[in-house]
A and B are shown apart, each in its own frame.
Chain A
Amino acid sequence: MNAGAGKNRIGAITPATAGSVLDIANLSVSVRGEDGEREVVSNLSLTLARGETLCIAGESGSGKSMTALAIMQLLPQPAARISSGKIRLGDTDLTVLDERRMRRVRGDRIAMIFQEPMTSLNPVLSIGQQLTESIEAHTSLSPAEARQRAIEALKAVRISEAESRLRQFPHELSGGMRQRVMIAMALALEPNVLIADEPTTALDVTVQGEVLELLRDLQRQHGTSIILITHDMGVVAEMADRVIIMRHGRMVEEGKTSDIFARPRADYTRELLAAVPRIGSGVGRQKSRHMETATPASVASVEDLHVRFDLRGGVFGRVTRRVHAVEGVSFSIAPNETLALVGESGCGKSTTAKALAGLVPYSGDIIVGGRNLSGLGRDERKAVRRDVQMIFQDPFASLDPRMRVGDLVAEPLVIHGIASRDERSQRVAALFERVGLSADQMDLYPHEFSGGQRQRVCIARALALRPKLIIADESVSALDVSVQARVLDLLKELQREFGVAYLFISHDMAVVENISDRVAVMYLGQIVEMGTRDQVFSNPRHPYTRRLIEAVPVPDPARRRSRFARLDQEIPSATRRIGEAPLKLALQDVGNGHLVAADSSPV
C-alpha cells in the first residue's frame, strides 16, 4: 500500500523533523459553560516519536479526550476552543490551519478511532461505502482502485471474506468486528499518527485482547505513531512505550511505562495504581464466614431457569425463531454471601438477574426466602420481592432527573406502604449518612451529583427496603477506578453490617475477584463453571474461564504478554430456529463443590 499520493502533503515529515512526528507545546483548551470559560486542558506539552505508542491515561474529566479532539481540530463547536499553544505535525502548526487544509490532514495524516464501535459507524451506509469514501476523499484513486484498497485494508485487520464484507452494514457485524473496520478505515491511508480514544473500553475482554494485539502488529508493520487514550492501567501496561498521566486537565507525570509503574513519582499516580483492581490480589483474602459455619438456608435460589424471547415472522406473525437467553441456570445465594456472575456480552447474565428481580417472564423456579415465586399471586409476589433489590450500571440513566434524590430513595418505601412520612424521611436521612452522603443533600437533584455519588444514591435506594439480596448489575463498571474502589469498599461494609447477599454481575474479572465469595461463569446462556473464588481463579478448569482470565490486561509492564491467543470464530448466536434446542451442558463436581461443564466443545 503506497498511501495518499505523497506529494505536497501538509505537515510533511522531513529529515529535519524526523525525531518527532507530533509536537504539542503549551496547549490549553477551554470550554465555555454557564459559569464562564473553564480550562479543561492546561498547558500541556508532549512529543510523539515515530513508531512510538504514547498512552494518555487518566480518569474522566482529566482532559485526555479533549486533547485528542484538539489535535484533530474537532473540538465541540462552538463551546470549546484552543485558547493557547501549538500543535505541530511535522513542520506545520495545525492550530492555524484553515478548515479546508485541516480536512486534508484529518484521515490522511492523523486518523482517529473512537470508543463506541456500535455508534461510530454510520448505520445506513455499507462498510464498503464508508471505507472507500475516505480513500477517495484523500487520493486520486478511481472507485475500483479505492475498492481494492479497501479490501486490502480489511484484510490487514484480519477480517475474513473481505470482499463480501464491503456490502454489509454495520449492524450485521459484532462489536469487535466493527472496531476492526474502524481501524481499517483509519489505517487505509497509512497516517503518520493514529489517535485511539478508549478503543477497547466498550469491547468484551477477549475481543479487547485481539484488538490491542492487532494495533501492535499494524504499528510494527507501518511504523505508525499511536496516541492511545485510556482509563485502564492494564491496557497502558500492555501497550505503551511512554505514559502521560493526566488529572483535571494537567499533566501529572510523564515517563517510560516501566518507570511509571515501578517508581511512580506523583502521589496521584500512586493512588491511581493502588486503586486498580488486579487479578491475583484477591487470592488469600479471608474466606467468607458462611464457608466456615454450616451452610444456612439460602436467601435466594434459582432452579433450572430458562428465559427465551420469541422472534416472530410470516403472514400470521408466528414464532419462527427464539433467543435462548438463559438455558437451565441453577444457583443459590446464602446470606452474607457475594455470588458473582461473569461472562461476556450476550451470555445471559443480565437476563438472569432480571428474571430474579421479576422484570422478565421466565420458566423454572425462583425461590426467595423459602417461597417459590411461581406459585404466588401478584400481591404476595410483590411482598416477597421486597427482599430483592437492584442497582444498575449507569448511575446517570437510572435516576429520574426530575425527582429529588431524597424522594428517589424514599420511593420504594412509599410503593410498599412502609412507615409514615416523618419516619420515612428519617430513614432516608440515615441511609444517606450510611452510604457516605450527607442528609442535607436529600433535596438536591441527580444532576448535581458526580457519577460515584449517584451510584451511592442508587445503593441507598436499594437498601431502603432492607433487602436480603441486592442484585448489582455492572454497578461499578461506569465508574473511574478510584471511585470504583471506594464504592466496592462501601458494598463490602454494608454486607458486613446488614448481612445482605449480593448477586454481583460483571464482565470485569479483576473486580469480580476483588469482591466475590463464589463465582459462576456464564457462556451462551449456561453456566460453564461455578465454584468459590479461589477455585475459579486459582484453578480454572473450563477453557472459557481460562480464556476470560488470561484476556485481562495485567497492570504490570513486566508481565506484558507476547501474544494473545486468538479466537478464530466469533461467539455463536443464542438465536435458534424453533425446535433446535441448544445442547444442555451437564455440570460435574471436580472436588469441594467446584462445578465444571463436562462438555467444553462449544468454546
Chain B
Amino acid sequence: MIAYLGRRVIQSLLILLGVSLITFALLYLLPADPVRQIAGRSATPQTVENIRQQLGLDQPFVVQYWHYLTRLVSGDLGRSYIQRSEVTELIVSRLPASLLLMVGAILCELLIGLSMGLIAAVKRGTATDQTLMVASFVGVSAPQFVVGLLLLYVFAVRLSWFPIGGYGTWRHLVLPSLTMGILGAGWYARMMRSSMIDVLRQDYVRTARAKGLARGAIVFRHALPNAILPVIAMIGIDIGIFMGGIVVVESVFGWPGIGQLAWQAIQRVDIPIIMGVTLVSAFAIVLGNLLADIIAPFIDPRIKLR
C-alpha cells in the first residue's frame, strides 16, 4: 500500500509537470499579447517594452519556463498582471467556494443518478425504466447554461424558492449544484443501470435468490457493491469535467469561485492566473483519480493496490 502510494505520488508529480509545460507552451504561442492588455491601447511602444522587460516576457521560452518552475517549487504561482496580487492568495481565497460547489454537485449527481439507475435496472423493461432513461437522456444532452438559466427562471424568478445568485447560505448552493450535477446524473443513471443489469444476471445473484433472501438484501447487499465499482472509477474522471463546467456555472450564478477567476483571467490574458488555475485543476483531477483508486479495494477485496 505504501509502495503503491509512493509510486502514484511520483506519477502524479510527473503529470503535473507535463501539464505545466503544455499549458505554458500554449500560452506562449498564443497570438494575444498580455503586455498590450496590461498597457492599454494608448501606451507608447517604449512603455510596452518596459512592461515586457519588467515581467521577463522578453526572455526566451525556456528561460521563462525555468523561472516559473523554480518559483513554483516554493509554492509561488507568481503575481497577477492585472490584479497586482499574488496568484496563490487569489486562488486560496476562491477555492473554498468552488470546492463547496463541487461537493454539492457530486452529491446531486450521485444521489439522483445512482438512484435513477438502480430503480431503472430493477424495474427493467417497465414504463418506469423508460421514463427514467428518457429523463437521463435529457440530462445528458442539455447544455449547462440552458439548464442553469431554466432552473433560475423556474425556481428563483417564478417560484422564489431559491436566491437568484450569490454565495453564503445552503439555499445559494442548491441551484448551482443541481445545474452542475444534472449532466453527471444523466451519465451515472445510464452507467448504473447497465452495470446493475449486468450484475443482476450474475450467478451469485441467482445463488442469493436460491438461498431465499429478501429482494432488498439481494439488491443492496449482493448486487449494489458489485455494480457501483465502475461508477466509482468514473468519479475521478468526472472532476476533470467539473472543472470545465465550473467556469460556466459560476458565471451564470455569480458564484465567487476559481471558475469565475479563470474566466476573467482568460479574457484579459492574465497568464499567471490561467497557469495557476490550470495547475490547481490538474491537481484536483489527479487527486480525484487517486482517491477513486484507493476506495476501490474497500468495496472489492479482489482489487489489490501494488
B212 contacts chain A at the CB level, 8 A cutoff? yes
B3 contacts chain A at the CB level, 8 A cutoff? yes
A122/B212 contact (C-beta < 8 A), A133-B221, A315-B7 known:
no
> Within 8 Å CB of A112, what residues of B?
210
Cβ of A123 and Cβ of B212 under 8 Å apart?
no
B62 contacts chain A at the CB level, 8 A cutoff? no
Which positions 196-237 of chain B face chain A at CB distance < 8 Å? 202-204, 206-214, 217, 221-222, 225-226
B33 contacts chain A at the CB level, 8 A cutoff? no
A403 contacts chain B at the CB level, 8 A cutoff? no
Cβ-neighbour of A74 out of B204, B206, B299 (below 8 A): B206
B84 contacts chain A at the CB level, 8 A cutoff? no
Which positions 391-445 of chain A face chain B at CB distance < 8 Å? none
B6 contacts chain A at the CB level, 8 A cutoff? yes
> Within 8 Å CB of B10, what residues of A?
315
> Within 8 Å CB of B221, what residues of A?
125, 133
Cβ-neighbour of B212 out of A103, A119, A313 (below 8 A): A103
Residue of A with least CB distance to B201? A76
> Within 8 Å CB of A312, what residues of B?
306
How far does the Cβ of A166 sit from chain B's closest Cβ, in whole Å? 14
> Within 8 Å CB of B158, what residues of A?
none
How far does the Cβ of A32 sit from chain B's closest Cβ, in whole Å? 13
A451 contacts chain B at the CB level, 8 A cutoff? no
> Within 8 Å CB of B212, what residues of A?
103-108, 134, 137-138
A171 contacts chain B at the CB level, 8 A cutoff? yes
Bound complex: CA A12 to CA B301 (Å): 41
A602 contacts chain B at the CB level, 8 A cutoff? no
Cβ of A314 and Cβ of B3 under 8 Å apart?
yes
Residue of A with least CB distance to B202? A119
Bound complex: CA A504 to CA B300 (Å): 38
A124 contacts chain B at the CB level, 8 A cutoff? yes
Cβ of B3 and Cβ of A120 under 8 Å apart?
no
Cβ of B300 and Cβ of A120 under 8 Å apart?
no
Which positions 139-168 of chain B face chain A at CB distance < 8 Å? none
Interface residues as binary, A337-352 with B (CB distance below 8 Å gives 1, 0 otherwise) = 0000000000000000
Cβ of A137 and Cβ of B299 under 8 Å apart?
no
B302 contacts chain A at the CB level, 8 A cutoff? yes
Cβ-neighbour of B301 out of A104, A123, A313, A317 (below 8 A): A123
Residue of A with least CB distance to B6? A315
Bound complex: CA A446 to CA B6 (Å): 49
> Within 8 Å CB of B204, what residues of A?
119-123
> Within 8 Å CB of B3, what residues of A?
313-315
Residue of B with least CB distance to A135? B211
Cβ-neighbour of B210 out of A72, A138, A169 (below 8 A): A72
In this complex, the member of A114, A116, A122 whose beta carbon has the largest number of chain B beta carbons within 10 angstroms is: A122
Bound complex: CA A536 to CA B76 (Å): 77
Bound complex: CA A104 to CA B213 (Å): 9
> Within 8 Å CB of A458, what residues of B?
none
A169/B213 contact (C-beta < 8 A), A120-B204, A315-B3 known:
no
Cβ of B213 and Cβ of A114 under 8 Å apart?
no
Cβ of A134 and Cβ of B299 under 8 Å apart?
no
How far does the Cβ of A66 sit from chain B's closest Cβ, in whole Å? 14
Cβ of B207 and Cβ of A114 under 8 Å apart?
yes
A182 contacts chain B at the CB level, 8 A cutoff? yes
Bound complex: CA A121 to CA B203 (Å): 8
Cβ of A133 and Cβ of B213 under 8 Å apart?
yes
Which positions 1-52 of chain B face chain A at CB distance < 8 Å? 3, 6-7, 10
> Within 8 Å CB of A313, what residues of B?
3, 306
Cβ-neighbour of B213 out of A103, A111, A116 (below 8 A): A103
How far does the Cβ of A477 sit from chain B's closest Cβ, in whole Å? 20
Cβ of B301 and Cβ of A169 under 8 Å apart?
yes
Cβ of B226 and Cβ of A185 under 8 Å apart?
no
How far does the Cβ of A187 sit from chain B's closest Cβ, in whole Å? 12
Cβ of A107 and Cβ of B211 under 8 Å apart?
yes
Cβ of B210 and Cβ of A111 under 8 Å apart?
yes
> Within 8 Å CB of B207, what residues of A?
114, 120-122, 182, 185
Bound complex: CA A133 to CA B3 (Å): 36
Bound complex: CA A365 to CA B295 (Å): 45
How far does the Cβ of A10 sit from chain B's closest Cβ, in whole Å? 11
Bound complex: CA A78 to CA B124 (Å): 11
> Within 8 Å CB of B222, what residues of A?
122, 125
Residue of B with least CB distance to A110? B210
Which positions 309-345 of chain A face chain B at CB distance < 8 Å? 312-317
Cβ of B7 and Cβ of A123 under 8 Å apart?
no
How far does the Cβ of A169 sit from chain B's closest Cβ, in whole Å? 4
Cβ of B302 and Cβ of A123 under 8 Å apart?
yes
How far does the Cβ of A129 sit from chain B's closest Cβ, in whole Å? 8
In this complex, the member of B3, B210, B301 whose beta carbon has the largest number of chain A beta carbons within 10 angstroms is: B210
Bound complex: CA A394 to CA B185 (Å): 39
Cβ of A124 and Cβ of B214 under 8 Å apart?
no
Interface residues as binary, A87-122 with B (CB distance below 8 Å gives 1, 0 otherwise) = 000000000000000011111100110101001111
Residue of B with least CB distance to A317? B7
In this complex, the member of B213, B225, B299 whose beta carbon has the largest number of chain A beta carbons within 10 angstroms is: B213
How far does the Cβ of B131 sit from chain A's closest Cβ, in whole Å? 19
20 contacts between A and B (CB under 8 A): A106-B210, A107-B212, A108-B212, A114-B207, A120-B203, A121-B204, A122-B222, A122-B226, A123-B300, A124-B226, A125-B222, A133-B217, A134-B212, A137-B211, A137-B212, A138-B212, A171-B301, A171-B302, A185-B211, A315-B6
Q: Which residues of A contact B (CB under 8 A)?
A: 72, 74, 78, 103-108, 111-112, 114, 116, 119-126, 133-134, 137-138, 169, 171, 182, 185, 312-317
The 5 closest A-B CB pairs, nearest first, are: A107-B212, A106-B212, A134-B211, A107-B211, A119-B203
